[in-house]
Amino acid sequence: MKTFAALLTITLLGFVANASADAPRLLINNSEISRIAATKLPPGYQGAVAIYPTMLDAGLGRSPLFLFEVPALGHPYELIVVSNVFNSKIFYPIFVLLDSGKRPMQELRLPVELINQPNDIMQATFHIPMSVGVQYLAVTTDPSLYGKSIEHAKSSSATLPVYTGSTLIYVPGPSTTQRMQLIISDEPNLALRVPEADEYSTSRKQVGIYSNIGVMFGGERVASNPTGDAYNAGSGAVIELGYAQSIAAQNSWFWRVGGGPRYQGGEGSNRGWVINGAVAHAFTLGNVAVNAGAGIYSDMLNKINPANGRSTEFKDTAGPMAFMEWRAADQFNFGLRFASLNYESTRGASYSGNQGGLYLGMWF
């Protein structure tokens, strides 16, 4: 499992980071840029730049240029631009902040910081400080960079499964480092993240395919387990695979559905299949990104097979669920979940299934 890749500080990065001091400045002409229709960005927007750029010579040669009308939030904030790597090529953006008359206020050429996503997609993320008075953002590049290379170190680490009694845990494994090269391209592949009206910055929306690895504990005791924790209704390790989708690109509400096996080992076993669905909201607490939501948690095909004694099978059950997640990185969460269920065996016995859970989430 790849966890992350490194910050890059080689040849071209030094040049790009210092370019604002010694490189030719962009010569954005107000009359030329006024003819370009600006794309309006609403607060909370997150998504790919799906429009075609205007080809314009802004003083450094003919190059792509995007013009965005940024939201006036009434306070300084941070807008995030992501440049995606495709076929070992990357577009290096130069940013120009403009006032309400589309007159340049500030030009930014920022260092490149590459992050390797868990699904092996590499991105460079740029944090653009937006002060009160900035109304437009122009994104272009320097054609003299085309074809030049960025050398970088890509680090990856693995996790190894280890059993401690009846519990499966994952421990850090070996790490490897590769030296690779990217080529500066004239083909932009960009995405934007705009904070909500009351936020300074924002985190990437966690949408798409995800997996959770964790444990559920609590519930009423059903049978003993001589080599570990008792077999309680609904307890055990849970591995889920699911999918999440934003309700709208301009807000932080999303829905998600996931499921997978639940298992507790020992001399016997406690097993079932978990399926859950929820609606959630992403927000920040101080500088920490948080997801919180509620929905339905179901546990099906439940069966406890103690080492000594009669097996107990349960009817399928479902109940309300609530969860909160703290984001460790754009792709990793630590989660806390509570579910309230009632379990009924096929022989008519009832057991309380109120339980909590801890899990690690990873987004692909």
> Looking at residue 266, what is its pLDDT?
85
Q: Give the end of a domain, one of 193, 225, 259.
A: 193
Alpha-carbon separation of residue 146 from 150, 151, 185 (angstroms): 11, 15, 5
The pLDDT of residue 1 is above 70: no
Q: Are residues 55 and 103 in the same domain?
A: yes
Cα separation, 83 vs 182, in Å, equals: 13
Residue 6 lies inside a defined structural domain of this protein? no
> Looking at residue 157, what is its pLDDT?
63
332: phi then psi, degrees, rounded to nearest 5: -130, 135
Residue 164 lies inside a defined structural domain of this protein? no
Higher-pLDDT residue of 84 and 122 is: 84
The pLDDT of residue 7 is above 50: no
Residues contacting residue 7 through CB under 8 Å, at least 6 positions apart: 113, 114
Cα separation, 150 vs 168, in Å, equals: 41
Share above pLDDT 90 across residues of the chain, in percent, rounded to a whole number: 40
The pLDDT of residue 214 is above 80: yes
Q: Are residues 149 and 220 in the same domain?
A: no
The pLDDT of residue 330 is above 80: no
Higher-pLDDT residue of 307 and 134 is: 134
> Looking at residue 294, what is its pLDDT?
96
> Looking at residue 83, what is its pLDDT?
93
Q: Are residues 294 and 223 in the same domain?
A: yes
CATH number, residue 219: 2.40.160.20
Q: How many structural domains does the chain have?
A: 2
For residues 214 and 92, the answer to whether their CB atoms sit within 8 Å is no
32: phi then psi, degrees, rounded to nearest 5: -70, -45
3-state secondary structure 147-215: CCEEEEEEEEEEEEEEEECCEEEEEEEEEEEEEEEEEECCCCCEEEECCCCCCCCCCCCCCEEEEEEEE
Alpha-carbon separation of residue 91 from 131, 137, 146, 148, 182 (angstroms): 25, 17, 9, 11, 10
The pLDDT of residue 117 is above 90: no
Q: Are residues 149 and 226 in the same domain?
A: no
DSSP 228: S
Task: State the average pLDDT over residues 261-287.
Answer: 88
The pLDDT of residue 126 is above 90: yes
> Looking at residue 19, what is its pLDDT?
41
For residues 217 and 209, the answer to whether their CB atoms sit within 8 Å is no
**Taking Cα atoms as reference points, which of 285, 267, 265 lies closest to residue 203?**
285
Residue 119 CB neighbour total at 10 angstroms = 12
Cα separation, 357 vs 274, in Å, equals: 13
Q: Are residues 184 and 216 in the same domain?
A: no
User: 250 pLDDT band (50/70/90 cuts)?
Assistant: low
Q: Give the end of a domain, one of 169, 193, 217.
A: 193
3-state secondary structure 87-116: CCEECCCEEEEECCCCCEEEEECCCCCEEE
User: 329 pLDDT band (50/70/90 cuts)?
Assistant: confident
Residue range 76-116, pLDDT digits in tens: 999 999 999 888 899 999 999 999 988 888 899 998 877 76
The pLDDT of residue 14 is above 60: no
CA gyration radius, the chain: 26
> Looking at residue 48, what is its pLDDT?
86
> Looking at residue 16, what is its pLDDT?
45
**Taking Cα atoms as reference points, which of 278, 270, 317 lies closest to residue 295?**
278
CA 134 to chain centre: 28
Residue 303 lies inside a defined structural domain of this protein? yes
Pick the most confident of 78-82, 174-178, 264-268: 78-82
Q: Are residues 81 and 187 in the same domain?
A: yes
Cα separation, 37 vs 71, in Å, equals: 16
Q: Are residues 144 and 235 in the same domain?
A: no
CATH number, residue 88: 2.60.40
> Looking at residue 345, what is its pLDDT?
92
The pLDDT of residue 356 is above 80: yes
For residues 223 and 349, the answer to whether their CB atoms sit within 8 Å is no
Q: Are residues 266 and 321 in the same domain?
A: yes
> Looking at residue 211, what is its pLDDT?
93
Residue 158 lies inside a defined structural domain of this protein? no
The H or E element containing residue 359 is strand 355-363
**Which residues span the domain enclosing 22?**
11-153+179-193
**Average pLDDT score, the chain:** 82
For residues 81 and 109, the answer to whether their CB atoms sit within 8 Å is no
Q: Are residues 133 and 234 in the same domain?
A: no
Q: Are residues 350 and 221 in the same domain?
A: yes
First to last CA, the chain: 11
Residue 140 lies inside a defined structural domain of this protein? yes
> Looking at residue 5, what is its pLDDT?
31
Handedness of CA 66, 72, 73, 78 (dihedral sign): positive
The pLDDT of residue 325 is above 90: yes
**Taking Cα atoms as reference points, which of 94, 64, 85 lies closest to residue 150?**
85
Residue 203 lies inside a defined structural domain of this protein? no
> Looking at residue 358, what is its pLDDT?
94
Task: State the average pLDDT over residues 287-308.
Answer: 89
Q: Give the end of a domain, one of 166, 193, 220.
A: 193
Q: Is the pTM of this model over 0.85?
A: no
The pLDDT of residue 216 is above 50: yes
Pick the most confident of 57-66, 68-77, 116-125, 156-165: 68-77
User: 279 pLDDT band (50/70/90 cuts)?
Assistant: very high
The pLDDT of residue 12 is above 50: no
Residue 87 lies inside a defined structural domain of this protein? yes
Residue range 32-54, pLDDT digits in tens: 787 888 999 988 888 888 888 99
Q: What share of the chain is helix, strand, coil (3-state, %, to 5)?
A: 5, 55, 40
